[in-house]
Chain A
Amino acid sequence: MADALGMIEFFNVSKEYPRSGLALRDTTFRLAKGEFAFLTGASGAGKSTILKLAYFDETPTSGEVRVSGVTSGDVSRGDIAQLRRRLGIVFQDFRLLDDRTAEANVAFALEVTGTRHDQIAPRVDRVLKQVGLGSKAKAFPKELSGGEQQRVAIARALVNDPFVLIADEPTGNLDEKATRSVFQLLRDINAAGTAVLMATHNLDLVRRTDYRRIELDQGRIISDATPSREEMPS
């Protein structure tokens, strides 16, 4: 049996919402340790639903989600809290606290998980440098560009050393330059051993890489493939 720690697994997962109906149908896939995978598809295809199920913001209507050994069938609220400390989650809208500086936003993720006070500052400093914001630690979100705000959000996601980074349209609000820069950061993070599951509309970004692509349409996986070098645009 494969080691389930550090993996995301979906087994015949369906998700139905009372008002909007089926968002995901009979979905099965596995994201291995250290892997990078895109989730693509039109709006409403089920990308965000998969991500929400992966960080247990939603529970499946049928089937089972297993994340690093935690299964959706018997998960408690306490288990979810513990699991999320080992996940990094990034959104299109950054979700930063506007009244706190960049470093305070990052430190927040450590404070609420009970990290020792004397360990917080060095870890925050390290991760802000990692995302290229060492000089902007004291800046408030409104003083930063969109790309920089997303870097702060990524730093917050990374500060607990997650085994996987779950990113829901992380470049959706960014211009071309900032998109490239944030995407390169995600690639660097993946190269360092953290798995990345990224939902995106940006097909240009997807086509430029040889990462695995899981394509969704109306709640179903219609293709799941890793392109060969030959298929890559020159």
Chain B
Amino acid sequence: MVAIRTPAELEERRRLLSEQKDPNQLTVTVCGGTGCRAYGSERVHEALHEEIKAQATQNRVNLRMTGCHGFCERGPLVVIQPKEIFYHGVKVEDVPQIVSKTVVEGEIIDSLLYVDPSTGQKIAHEREVPFYKKQRRLLLDMNGQIDPTSIADYIASGGYGSLSKVLSQMAPEEVIDEVTRAKLRGRGGAGFLAGLKWRLTREAPGETKYLVCNADEGDPGAYMDRSIMEGNPHRVLEGMIVGGYAIGAHRGFVYIRNEYPLAVKHLRTAIAQARECGLLGKDILGSGFDFDVEIRLGAGAFVCGEETALMASIEGRTGEPRPRPPYPAQQGLWGKPTNINNVKTWANIPLIIEKGADWYLQIGTEGSKGTAIFSVVGKINNTGLVEVAMGATLRQIIFDIGGGIPKGKEFKAVQIGGPSGGCIPKEHIDTPIDYESLTQLGAMMGSGGMVICDGDTCMVDLARYFMTFVQEESCGKCMPCRVGTKAMLETLTGITKGEGQKGDIDYLFELAGEIKSSSLCGLGQTAPNPVLSTLRYFRDEYEAHIYDKRCPAKVCHDLIIYEVVADLCTGCMVCARNCPTSAITGEKGTVHTIDQGLCVRCGLCKQLCKFDAVSVS
């Protein structure tokens, strides 16, 4: 691509590119996010490519692989524009039909349409699908439309327009003012006002300043940053360049986990393309402003999502946090003022510049403006990425958009904020979600991972799970975190094994208090949250484990037994053959029995039994 040297040239390029697009031309978009690729969407894409050629329709139709559409439960997703015909669960076998019927003849294939479970109706158009209908997709909008490896697509859709506006019409302080006015809060979890952070970094003494994009999305179950990086990396870059201009930094780093190979690949391509066009590098758009971005890969350490550990990692040291103050805005990378923001925060910037702070202020609640993106996973029908205005309720997200709990089970709780967050039970399901309300309920926005739990989830086991995670990821520098969480973990494990004792709950509270108040960094300070939160709302479950030696959700291995239901057993021997410890005896045709002494509660027999003849109690 030819370099773009002035705002006028950018506008000209955009005009040309969008003129080349015929809005009525058929475009087949295939979701290429990691989730859909795992479902085989690449093969679908290839098959479409071949089939379109075979049916000689190349002239009429565009084929495009896009970023993550968000409706991950139903992949592979194929959406045909301009009518937004939405096909889900597309297999390679469906491809010939899709081309011959829908592409060539404009007919809709009923069998590939999404069926709304509540009405039984088939839905043909993407925006009518309940999952999408109730969302407010500001950051994820382009994910289904552009090819993330094409800067031309981004520019044609208005990309880099905000950068152009900023460089030609706004002074750095004005940019900071606008972002401050919009009350944009950091989307990494803590929710600190972005504009304020920018101002502090700008005002810190020193010529050399740095910018960082924190893409080390470590919360297990959260993948919105991945989707944005995979599906629209240019938007993040644009936000960073604007930020660099506002703060006075000329070098930016994207710290991204190495567990996201596709996102890294697309980001690399985006950076190379932006450089080619002169949107990164020297004298951007003729403004005299220089800025460039480098990628730094994470190396498998959750703690490196913490600001000071992240910086240590970029500098080439182990990810051990250091005390703050001094804050990164004063002394960051190599001692220089550094501004660190999350992927979603950067992605919000072009939007705020384009539409203005006033527009942005209209979305969301009093204390939390804009949208929030949640990855809704776990025991939910519509697993996927949900973007809603701040203030949407859990009920809307879980039921209206998420489609409720599978197999007709009851909603029990939702865990928000990963290992630093907490759970929210049924009774608070109508709470509007924003930073404040979540903190009050004992949870945390975090990076937005939402794990839905039903009656089969043991909350004590869940708390233990998070504590195990923290123990594995703790850097080990400070004692409250390293040893304190181990003490908590051992207590929790004991409880799940039926070894809980009177006084354990008090001990957990005491340790939690100390770890929260005395740990060196955010990892330790928030590590006890899942335990505190589950104790707050599900204390009865803890007590059942401790005093009754019973796991109400029938999850904790040492507190359950698997038994064969005599009336239903047909003696088929499938379970006996597969039992890893040969704990099942019984001949063909006779009712089997499970030897409790040998059974390790792996659950395989229950899974395999076609007659539902294994019970857990």
- A interacts with B: no
